[in-house]
Amino acid sequence: MYKNKYSGLFLKWPKLLQNSWPKLILLLILTTFSAVLVALPKVTGLAVILLLVLPTLLALIFEHRAFCRYLCPVSGFLGPFSKMSTLALRNKSQKTCDHCKAHFCQKGSEKGWACPYGINVGEMTESLDCGLCLECTRSCLYNNVTLYKRPFASELGTRNLSEAWLTIGIFTLAVVYSVLYQGHWAVVRDYVNILDKANWGLFGVYSLIVWSLALLIMPGIIVLLSYIGVKLSKLKNSTKQVFLTSAGALLPLGLMLWITFVIPMLFVNVTFVMQSLSDPFGWGWDFFGTANIPWHQFLPRFVPWLQAVLILIGLQLSLRNLRNSWLKNQIKSWKLMLLILPVGLFIVCCSVAMIVFFTN
């Protein structure tokens, strides 16, 4: 029983949907229509209103933050990357949690609300589900919750198939977005241009390709490579176990690909940032002497180098995590090498292809 009083129906979220599948599907819908979403102010406004109304409505029906936990596409995108954060909320003492019967963090107390994401900090081993609202630091009457600093990108693997699919989906979308918006092929952009050209036929083809890539082709490739790794190494591990681990290893490279994708857009707008900083309200101020500087691209020659370095960092971290995921299993080093070789080569090939793409 919860120790706080809630309004609304407070129904349980359907068990069948207590996973990352709904988030992945909504993320794919949002990204499929992203060009319309950012180009038409009316659609942007509608999306923002929906993001306010839907969580409120669902909060009146289901317990806690059902929308944030199970549906929010933004959470679907950001959640997996929280596993790479250098900041993590955990308990101070596992022993105290083991002896705790009240579970104030999960059920609430007179000092604070129950965790809006339904987490019992005593059982928490990874950051994906945590919204870092810090409510449990108040509700735990044993003062047993704290924030830790940890190495970058140190959480490994994925817990279940929906989480693995979500991670692979985010990785795939980074590649798709890069090719679509920063590729040299203007014809590719025609496929998403339903605003100016109303190319609904081409848009249908584009949607089919993106959804197939994210839901079938890329996960299928990782499953196949995991299977080959198991066969090569002759280990007893199941293909599913290798797949879940391998999917998690894509995360660092995925994050770096997203940063790499954003850099050119960011650098193009640096002039406007400098102008706004100098005259934040457009009232004719000029704090830093940059209010009226003409537009120029920020360090254009530096961009491909930076992109290449970022992808190399992602490659190194992904390969490191791929190997580290198996260290606790005490597998002979040559067997481990054979087990992770196929997925490792896939990560290397993706990195090389994206470096060539961005630097040409």
What residue ranges bind ligand SF4 (CB under 6 A)?
A: 89, 91, 96-97, 100, 103-105, 115-117, 119-122, 130-136, 140, 142, 144-145
**Amino acid symbol at 110:** E
Q: How far is CA 268 from CA 66, 120, 360, in A?
A: 38, 44, 18
- Report in angstroms how near the CB of residue 150 gets to ligand SF4 at its nearest: 16
Residue 101 or 184 with smaller CB distance to ligand SF4: 101
The count of other CB atoms within 10 Å of the CB of residue 41 is: 8
- Report in angstroms how near the CB of residue 10 gets to ligand SF4 at its nearest: 17
Residue 134 or 356 with smaller CB distance to ligand SF4: 134
Residue 122 or 248 with smaller CB distance to ligand SF4: 122
The count of other CB atoms within 10 Å of the CB of residue 68 is: 19
> Which two structure tokens, joined as six digits, stand for 211?
């959804």
Residue 117 or 258 with smaller CB distance to ligand SF4: 117
- Report in angstroms how near the CB of residue 161 gets to ligand SF4 at its nearest: 23
The strand pairing partners of 11, in sequence order, are 62
Residue 131 or 344 with smaller CB distance to ligand SF4: 131
- Report in angstroms how near the CB of residue 300 gets to ligand SF4 at its nearest: 42
Residue 68 or 250 with smaller CB distance to ligand SF4: 68
Characterise 58 by phi-psi region: left (phi > 0), alpha (psi -120 to 50), beta (else). Answer: alpha
Can you tell me the distance from the alpha carbon of 3 to that of 138, in angstroms, rounded to the nearest whole number?
14
The dihedral built from the CA positions of residue 97, 99, 101 and 104, taken in this order, carries a sign that is: negative
- CB 77, CB 172: distance < 8 Å: no
Residue 114 or 235 with smaller CB distance to ligand SF4: 114
The count of other CB atoms within 10 Å of the CB of residue 332 is: 10
- Report in angstroms how near the CB of residue 217 gets to ligand SF4 at its nearest: 34
Q: Per DSSP, which regions of 80-207 are E strands?
A: 87-91, 145-149
Residue 63 or 135 with smaller CB distance to ligand SF4: 135
Q: How far is CA 269 from CA 34, 131, 264, 297, in A?
A: 20, 30, 9, 8
> Which two structure tokens, joined as six digits, stand for 260?
């790499």
Closest CA to 348 of 327, 306, 320: 320
Q: Which residue has the tokens 């190399």?
A: 312
Residue 163 or 171 with smaller CB distance to ligand SF4: 163
Can you tell me the distance from the alpha carbon of 50 to that of 221, in angstroms, rounded to the nearest whole number?
35
- Report in angstroms how near the CB of residue 107 gets to ligand SF4 at its nearest: 8
- Report in angstroms how near the CB of residue 18 gets to ligand SF4 at its nearest: 16
The strand pairing partners of 148, in sequence order, are 88
- Report in angstroms how near the CB of residue 162 gets to ligand SF4 at its nearest: 19
- Report in angstroms how near the CB of residue 84 gets to ligand SF4 at its nearest: 17
Find the length of the chain.
360
Can you tell me the distance from the alpha carbon of 183 to that of 206, in angstroms, rounded to the nearest whole number?
15
Residue nearest ligand SF4 by beta-carbon distance: 100
